[in-house]
Amino acid sequence: MATATRSVHEVCVAAKAASHLLARAERAVKDASLRDLADRLEASAGEILDANAADVEAGREEGLTEALIDRLTLTEARVAEMAKGVREIAELEDPVGEIAEDWTLPNGLRVQKQRAPLGVVGIVYEARPNVTIDAAALCLKSGNAVVLRGSSAAETSNGVLAALVGASLAQAGLPEASVSLLSGGGREQLGELATQEGLVDLIIPRGGEGLKMALKAVAKVPVMYAAAGNCHVYVHEDADLEMAARIAYNAKVQRPGVCNAAETLLVHESVAAELLPGLLDELRSAGVELVGDERVREHPGAAPVGEATEEDWVTEYHGLKMAVGVVDSLEQAIEHVNRHGTGHSDAIVTASDEAAEEFTDSVDSAAVYVNASTRFTDGYEFGMGAEIGNSTQKLHARGPIGLRELTSTKYVVRGSGQIRE
Amino acid sequence: MATATRSVHEVCVAAKAASHLLARAERAVKDASLRDLADRLEASAGEILDANAADVEAGREEGLTEALIDRLTLTEARVAEMAKGVREIAELEDPVGEIAEDWTLPNGLRVQKQRAPLGVVGIVYEARPNVTIDAAALCLKSGNAVVLRGSSAAETSNGVLAALVGASLAQAGLPEASVSLLSGGGREQLGELATQEGLVDLIIPRGGEGLKMALKAVAKVPVMYAAAGNCHVYVHEDADLEMAARIAYNAKVQRPGVCNAAETLLVHESVAAELLPGLLDELRSAGVELVGDERVREHPGAAPVGEATEEDWVTEYHGLKMAVGVVDSLEQAIEHVNRHGTGHSDAIVTASDEAAEEFTDSVDSAAVYVNASTRFTDGYEFGMGAEIGNSTQKLHARGPIGLRELTSTKYVVRGSGQIRE
């Protein structure tokens, strides 16, 4: 692990050189390095927590919000989770060299579309020090060199974690510059990293809208953005209403602060009377503040429901609030979702295959659900083993960004002397 | 086909609305529209050629270069080719709705990764009017609305072609705004198109470096760039030298102006004496100007070979010139290719599986060849049926951009009431 007294450019040059070696590293070597890292994390838990306590103390002195302090704070349990996560990544299939497609042309040429590392991945993130480990492990496993750019608030914690990664790389005989940590350089440093064209192949931001906007303003290298999640649950006229209530409640309440939680409930007019009173009561009992359109507010048994403004329909609340609307048709629901949503995760509850198909074909989102909670959009839940975020872009990766999404492909074409006539 | 007296923004709004309908269009309807377009192209050949003659005459008056005039000029044969190309696209499988992956989770959720159109694709191009038809056909088949931004030099030709596309859309009952043509708006218009975030999902430039640079300076929406092709042929120590000579000659001479033609020949030191004199003579006989490193120039029998400058190793000649170098090892060849190449297409000629694998794993290019000419990197040659360019980016599409590469994916998840615990 190279920590930077060097310039961002120098760090990226070294990372690029390391990436060429890493691209050819055997799976066993990468996995050995990861398992060694997990052991080191456990053995060094005391040292990690001491460093983290220093960051937290400094953060409190600087007046960080409690939410930020929470994200910054490591505990014994969180360190144990990091180690467990790294061991799980070691168990995953190596995507490098996987043959995605394989065919033979009439002229005898065999064409294979083979997964290959991207090269150098930049990860820019905010307070959470565990991202240092998650990102290093995912990039290493997928054969990419990584340049980590954490927040200055987590500098001491990240430094200790980075040193452990460095020791594990050395132990396995992998290049030191496979994982580099930049720190303390502010927005200027972000701009430098985001303009290393030809050296940095991809940047993934993990943080709030402010970080994403800052990156968007300066980036010249490709960036994979994870947009906000304004997710919807639509209850169709033929839905099993017990199921519908369960799904809507789960999508809103089970963990309201995350991007795959639902913000809007849409209900077909013909089932509103039966569904709404009980479901809205349940949501209120769970502490959910409800706002609704006129038809919801005027519904007998729906009250008390506040007025939903245009702003409400496009807002990711990150908390216990939900906007509720009544629609006349499936088409109207689809139109609402496509107009107001963020293309993250949207669900329909219906008994009809035809309605389900119209919804899944028409809703322009990364994940579209039939009769299930939106909360499943996640690399672990999807069985991809791990993720480094959730893309709502349409190019390259849409949905959870796992190991495969951290690779590119190349065509490998084998012949016996074929030429173009 | 909507031609624009409206603003770029209005055109893109209409295209977005059309894209939602097009995303659900049946294959048979799209194919019927394409076949109708092919018929119309043939039936209207006279009208097309008249319009084109007006563009060509205006171009000559404005002093366009002969190369530009050549690209601008349509002939009966070129119109027939356009029609044939459109019919071929109608025959291709519809990528929309294809299931790329399909699995069931332990909780019973069925996850399908399904191909879906991108939405609205912008194609910006230069003189060639046939791009109007190729791009419209590929985008229509892949369920995308397209906004075409051609060059003012081809305005009359493009207008006639656009009207034929519009008639074929109407004939099949597809939305008029599925294909729109912008024209005559200059660089400002390009900037407007490239900043329609949320409306335009992808722009693909088809043209020279100037166009790409202009786009890069202003684009806020995703762009897929096709970089230049500085391609290499490396002859390893154990190569069949007759095969090596045939491949190197073909890669350079068969069509030197295209991006998958080779610019550099690298030869292992141990076969240079046997290979170079004959091969270099053949190349010279075909009119190839040769430049080389010191070891080539001093080689008995190689002369006359000019001096290769640093500039030569990184240049795509687009013509009958080739740089030749001698290397001591496979590693040195790989290092040369990765340092000087553009990541397009590079070949090794070798009898050894081990050397081939080291080359294909290590060379960081879209297409890597073993014992075949680099000239095969092409959507038609690869059996993908058609292409709209060749990507040397690592994200989304690397290599030929065919129908699949014009799609995104979405996860469609079907359950029976599953919620997160």
**Which residue in chain A has the smallest CA separation from B21?**
A362
Q: Which of B104, B235, B253, B420 should be substituted to probe chain A, the one whose Cβ sees the most A Cβ atoms within 10 Å?
A: B420
In B239-381, where does DSSP find H-type helix? 241-253, 269-285, 294-297, 310-313, 330-340, 353-362
Residue B160, both tokens = 């006639």
**Minimum-distance CB partner of B420 among A250, A356, A383:** A250
**Minimum-distance CB partner of B372 among A24, A371, A413:** A413
Nearest CA to CA, how far is B278 from chain A (Å)?
A: 18
**Which residue in chain B has the smallest CA separation from A363?**
B20
Q: Which of A105, A220, A362, A394 should be substituted to probe chain B, the one whose Cβ sees the most B Cβ atoms within 10 Å?
A: A394
pLDDT score, position B184:
67
- Does A2 have pLDDT greater than 50? no
Mean pLDDT within A43-54? 98
pLDDT score, position B4:
45
Read off the pLDDT band of A184 (50, 70, 90).
Answer: low
Residues of B in contact with A255 (CB under 8 A): 420
Residues of A in contact with B111 (CB under 8 A): 382-383
- Does A294 have pLDDT greater than 50? yes
**CATH number for the domain running over A231-376:** 3.40.309.10
Residue A105, both tokens = 């042309």
Residues of B in contact with A361 (CB under 8 A): 23-24, 97, 116
In B219-314, where does DSSP find H-type helix? 241-253, 269-285, 294-297, 310-313
Residues of A in contact with B398 (CB under 8 A): 408-411
Residues of B in contact with A366 (CB under 8 A): 410-411
Output phi, psi for B192, to 5 deg: -60, -45
Mean pLDDT taken over chain A? 94
Read off the pLDDT band of A229 (50, 70, 90).
Answer: very high
**Minimum-distance CB partner of A361 among B23, B109, B395:** B23
**Which residue in chain A has the smallest CA separation from B98?**
A361
**Minimum-distance CB partner of A411 among B114, B371, B399:** B399
This complex has an ipTM of: 0.93
State the count of interchain CB pairs (< 8 A) between A and B.
Answer: 203
Read off the pLDDT band of A209 (50, 70, 90).
Answer: confident
pTM for the whole thing? Answer: 0.92
Residues of B in contact with A365 (CB under 8 A): 410
Are A394 and B202 inside 8 Å of each other by CB?
A: yes
Q: Is B306 left (phi over 0), alpha (psi -120 to 50) or beta?
A: beta
Helix (H) and strand (E) counts for chain A? 15, 17
How would you list the strands of the sheet with A2-3, edge to edge? A2-3, A179-182, A145-149, A120-125, A202-206
CATH architecture of residue range(s) B2-224+402-413 = 3-Layer(aba) Sandwich (3.40)
Q: Report the distance separating Cα B341 and Cα A201, nearest Å.
A: 16
3-state secondary structure of B144: coil
Are A376 and B109 inside 8 Å of each other by CB?
A: yes
Q: Omega into B304 within 30° of 0, i.e. cis?
A: yes
- Does A14 have pLDDT greater than 90? yes
3-state secondary structure of A290: strand
**Minimum-distance CB partner of A420 among B109, B250, B338:** B250
Domain boundary assignment for chain B? 2-224+402-413, 231-376
Are A247 and B417 inside 8 Å of each other by CB?
A: yes
Q: Which of B24, B109, B398, B421 should be substituted to probe chain A, the one whose Cβ sees the most A Cβ atoms within 10 Å?
A: B109
**Which residue in chain A has the smallest CA separation from B255?**
A420
Give the residue among B338, B273, B331 at the shortest CA–CA distance from B302.
B273
pLDDT score, position B84:
95
pLDDT score, position B302:
87
Are A382 and B338 inside 8 Å of each other by CB?
A: no
Residues of A in contact with B356 (CB under 8 A): 414
pLDDT score, position A387:
86
Q: Which of A395, A398, A414 should be substituted to probe chain B, the one whose Cβ sees the most B Cβ atoms within 10 Å?
A: A395
Output phi, psi for B416, to 5 deg: -135, 40
CB A183 within 8 A of CB A157: no
Nearest CA to CA, how far is B20 from chain A (Å)?
A: 7
Residues of A in contact with B202 (CB under 8 A): 394-395
**Minimum-distance CB partner of B410 among A338, A368, A417:** A368
Are A395 and B202 inside 8 Å of each other by CB?
A: yes
Residues of chain B falling short of pLDDT 70: 1-5, 184
Residues of B in contact with A224 (CB under 8 A): 395
Q: State which H helix or E strand residue A90 sits in.
A: helix A76-91
Percent of chain A, pLDDT > 90?
86
Helix (H) and strand (E) counts for chain B? 15, 17
Q: Would you say the CATH fold of B231-376 matches that of B2-224+402-413?
A: no
Mean pLDDT within A82-106? 96
**Minimum-distance CB partner of B394 among A201, A246, A420:** A201
What is the amino acid identity at position A4?
A: A
pLDDT score, position A183:
73
- Does A4 have pLDDT greater than 80? no
Q: Which of B112, B394, B421 should be substituted to probe chain A, the one whose Cβ sees the most A Cβ atoms within 10 Å?
A: B394
Residues of A in contact with B404 (CB under 8 A): none
Are B116 and A364 inside 8 Å of each other by CB?
A: yes
Give the residue among B395, B421, B418, B403 at the shortest CA–CA distance from B111.
B418
- Other C-beta atoms closer than 10 Å to the C-beta of B378 total 18
Residues in CB range of B10: below 8 A, 6 or more apart = none
Q: Which of A103, A200, A412, A416 should be substituted to probe chain B, the one whose Cβ sees the most B Cβ atoms within 10 Å?
A: A412
Half-sphere exposure of A290 (CA within 13 A, CB side): 26
Residues of A in contact with B217 (CB under 8 A): none
**Minimum-distance CB partner of A395 among B375, B381, B408:** B408
Are A415 and B356 inside 8 Å of each other by CB?
A: no
Are B411 and A372 inside 8 Å of each other by CB?
A: no
